[in-house]
Amino acid sequence: MSFVNRGRAGVRAARMLVCIALLGALVPAGAGAAGVWDVVSGVKQQRLADVLSREAEAGEIGALEDSPDFVSAVPITPGTVLGSFAADDTYHVYSIALDTDERISLSLTADAATNYDLYLYREPDALGVVGASWLDAYPETIVHDVRAPHAGTYYVVVERFSGTGAYALDVDVTAAPALGPIHSIPGVPLMLPTVTGDLDRGTEPDHVYSIALEAGERLSLVMHSADGDADVFVFAPDATDVTVDCPVAGAATAYDPELLVYDVPAGAGGTYYVNVWAATGSPHYELSASVAPTPPLGADAEIPGVAVSASPVVDTLADTGESRVYALPHAASGQVISLSLNGETDTDFDLRLFGPGSTSVRTDAPVARAELPLYPDEIVYDVPAGAGGVYYVQVVSYRGSGTFGLSWSVGPRDYASIVRMAGQDRYLTAVDISARTFDAGSCDTVVLATGTDFADALTASGLAGAYEAPVLLTPSHTLPDAVLAEIQRLGATEVVIVGGTSAVGTQVTAKLTGAGITWRRIWGSNRFTTAAAVAEEIVAQMARAGRTWNQIAFVVRHDGFADALAVAPLAYAQGMPILLTRSEPALNYDTRIALITMGAREVLVAGGPVAVADHILLELRGVAGIERVDRIYGPTRYETAAAVAEYGLKFHWVGTDVVGVATGLDFADALSGGAAAGARGGVLLLTAKDHLPSPSSTFLAQKSGLIPSVNVYGGPVAVAESVIEDITRIGP
């Protein structure tokens, strides 16, 4: 039996958007069966916005992240539009009026050294995208047919992904082909058991089938698609338009086949509509359907279910659509219910929470749900005032059969722990952080850096992450016995030293050799070349370990430590290099060469324009191979650290399982602590000595229900007890 636990990192699943109510009231779905969830108006546009997003795989930066300036859109008519991008341009936005049953054809060309992308919006927001093209060669093309009721103003967006210079946008508007009866409600009768068809995202996105269903019947759908991604939705008898109305059920994942089971509620018989929709490309689909009586739910699959046993609950689901229901202990107002579900590889089990007074998983709407196609599915639910009582947990198989593990808790909304990790000095603090983070015998390698200067040490976090090792500190000319003892406790046979002999001297390496521990040194002639050498080793070690580097590098100022400390957990968690640069007068040459040699595609600059000047960002955008440069910063070091933490959460590089807090006035504790937070998949906030600054306290307050542990790195001299008191007051 193999449980999948991918933590918070990885892809943002497409089905997540369908499961979150963003645009209106929830509509009760069908029974507790696979593929049935509450859906919202605009669900298809949510799905498409996710499909079109560059962040759909591997946490890449979203092309739709920054909304274009639709207010300043330039009106155009059919013909050729000429434009040109400068280095500081991101988008050009055009508007065009289109009538019902018109076809707009767009073709974008530019110099081969550039990479410009093309989007067509129906509404001026991210959910209004109706087409996109981001090929690596020209022309970029979009063809879209306007159908009722969607006549009006459309927006053509040209995005500069890389390069600068002129482009030509050809715009053609013609009459769209006439629609047949299959394209809209009432559609054509669904012929059992199988129908096939061909769709196109821009010109033929919908096929609609009608089917008569009676209360108490179950409609089961299995759909395969090729040459594109097709989704399937079920609409109730009162639906009139599949582009506007809210479906009662849907299967909208990035997986093949799509599976959907819908149980017709009591009193809701009639003619239903099955909508096959082209999410991307020009899919050919095969839709198989069957209708049978809804099977009765067993006592353990319906409210009130069975009393939940001690956490974690281990149980099995034998088939797609099967479920288990557990009654939780009484939850009082103000308490928090925490649930985490893991299942076996190749299964997709979902998690739903029903409130007190619920009588059936088939007719009642859950108060919370987690329906991701990857594990863990997690729910953290704050019990509202006046809503105390017995809550019910449903585990349902969306796909497959096998064993699952359900962890649960009901209790006060508070941090599970606030732990101070500290020693008598910075070296013993690093030892304590390592000892509380890494098990004995768990590390083959340890990263060692000087604790007397930050220049070389700042780059150590990504290196430690590549080796899945702690960062330990040493004075330049002696290795403390406690540091050596920690290396031996970890079971490390190798120490990787960051910096030359002036940073970590020969007395240190001699003591390592005498203890039978091999060592090697990564360094350069200055702090920039040392950072470049460390970056090269990170990429090499990630490859040796069979891990994929995301081709993203951090760039921070060379003469300050705060910004580099803020990115340390992200660098550790993702094995991302940290490179250094001067703010003036130009991008450091060694850093430029390192980015090219590594094959970096994206650069994240931590710190504001005072730390890294705007013209440095322009230079970074011109480095060969760099496709995107982003800046993450706030007006102060504390705001920058909070912004970096939010950025890491946004792209699922890290989570809130652990939040570290360290002084923002010195580097040593935060250096070891940032690596430790990254090792636990967490983030790092910075603090003043005697109080928790507002950016850090705001971050903790906004996410207090999602943070089980806060680790404070450093003793009372660095982080006073008053800071811990501030954190404690935020927790409940």
pLDDT digits (tens, 9 = 90+) for 567-606: 999 999 999 999 999 888 889 999 999 999 999 999 999 9
Cα separation, 325 vs 612, whole angstroms? 55
**Cβ-proximal residues to 210 (8 Å cutoff; 6+ apart), any chain:** 185, 186, 187, 188, 189, 190, 271, 272, 273, 274
Cα separation, 297 vs 305, whole angstroms? 10
Q: Look at residue 67 in the predicted model and tell me its pLDDT.
A: 62
Q: Delimit the CATH 2.60.120.380 region(s) of the chain.
A: 63-175, 182-293, 297-412
Six-digit token string for 37? 């969830």
Instruction: Identify the CA nearest to 47 among candidates 259, 189, 281, 253.
Output: 253
Instruction: Identify the CA nearest to 114 among candidates 163, 159, 161.
Output: 163
pLDDT at 3 over 60: no
**H/E segment holding residue 4:** none
Domain range 63-175, CATH class: mainly beta
Considering only residues 121 and 25, tell me which one the structure prediction assigns the higher pLDDT.
121
Cα separation, 565 vs 666, whole angstroms? 10
Assign domain 182-293 one CATH number from 3.30.530.20, 2.60.120.380, 1.10.150.170, 1.10.443.10. 2.60.120.380
Strands 368-370 and 348-354: antiparallel
pLDDT at 164 over 80: yes
Query: What percentage of the chain reaches a pLDDT higher than 90?
Result: 61
**Cβ-proximal residues to 467 (8 Å cutoff; 6+ apart), any chain:** 443, 444, 445, 447, 496, 541
Cα separation, 572 vs 563, whole angstroms? 15
Among left, alpha and beta (phi > 0; psi -120 to 50; other), residue 499 is left
pLDDT at 18 over 90: no
Q: What is the CA radius of gyration of the chain?
A: 28
pLDDT, tens only, 236-267: 999 998 887 888 888 877 678 888 888 898 89
Q: Look at residue 41 in the predicted model and tell me its pLDDT.
A: 32
Query: What percentage of the chain reaches a pLDDT higher than 70?
Result: 89
Q: Average pLDDT for residues 383-388, to the nearest whole number?
A: 86
Cα separation, 46 vs 20, whole angstroms? 10
Cα separations in angstroms, 350 against 22, 314, 379, 493, 632? 20, 15, 11, 43, 35
pLDDT at 85 over 70: yes
pLDDT at 42 over 50: no
Q: Chain-wide mean pLDDT for the chain?
A: 85
pLDDT, tens only, 505-514: 999 999 999 9
Cα separation, 292 vs 263, whole angstroms? 10
pLDDT at 23 over 50: no
**Taking the domain 297-412, which CATH number applies?**
2.60.120.380
Q: Look at residue 51 in the predicted model and tell me its pLDDT.
A: 45
Q: Is 175 exposed, middle or buried (0-12, 13-18, 19+ CB in 10 A)?
A: exposed
Q: Look at residue 211 in the predicted model and tell me its pLDDT.
A: 97
Six-digit token string for 650? 């946004």
Long-range contacts of 59-62 (CB under 8 A, 24+ apart): 59/9, 59/10, 59/11, 59/12, 59/550, 59/574, 59/651, 59/652, 59/653, 60/550, 60/602, 60/651, 61/602, 61/628, 61/630, 61/651
Contact 277, 230 (CB under 8 A): yes
Contact 660, 666 (CB under 8 A): no
Q: Is 520 exposed, middle or buried (0-12, 13-18, 19+ CB in 10 A)?
A: exposed
Which residue is listed with tokens 């341009």? Answer: 89
Helix axes 694-702, 721-730, angle to 10 degrees: 30
Residue 325 confidence class, pLDDT cut points 50, 70, 90: very high
pLDDT at 343 over 60: yes
Cα separation, 313 vs 319, whole angstroms? 19
pLDDT, tens only, 94-104: 999 999 999 99
pLDDT, tens only, 110-153: 999 999 999 999 877 655 778 888 787 899 999 999 988 889 99
Contact 681, 655 (CB under 8 A): yes
Q: Look at residue 731 in the predicted model and tell me its pLDDT.
A: 60
Cα separation, 669 vs 558, whole angstroms? 19
pLDDT at 415 over 70: no
Cα separation, 672 vs 429, whole angstroms? 8
Residue 202 confidence class, pLDDT cut points 50, 70, 90: confident
